[in-house]
Amino acid sequence: MDAVSFAQDIRPLFRDKDLNSMSWAVDLASYDDVKTHAEGIYNRLSRGNMPCDGAWPDDRTALFRRWMDQGYAP
C-alpha cells in the first residue's frame, strides 16, 4: 500500500463540522497542527470520544495511526 499522506488520506476524513467544533484547540485542516497534536487526536479517536457525535470505525482510526507511524507524510 502507498504511504499514507495527510493531504490525500487524512485531511478528507475531517468534516467541516469537525474543523469548526475543534478550531479552539486544533486546526484539523492544518498539517502542522494535526502533526503537533497527533498523539492527543489519536487517543481521542481510539477511545471513541471524538468526534463528539460518533466514533470513527476502527479501520479509519488505524489509518490515522499508520500515518503517524510512517512519519507524518504531508
Minimum distance, C-beta of residue 50 to ligand HEM, in the bound complex (Å): 4
Q: Which range touches ligand HEM (CB under 6 A), out of 4-12, 21-29, 66-74?
A: 21-29
Residue 31: CB minimum distance to ligand HEM, A = 14
69 phi and psi angles, rounded to 5 deg: -65, -30
**Binding-site ranges for ligand HEM (CB under 6 A):** 14, 17-18, 21-22, 25, 37, 40-41, 44-45, 50-53
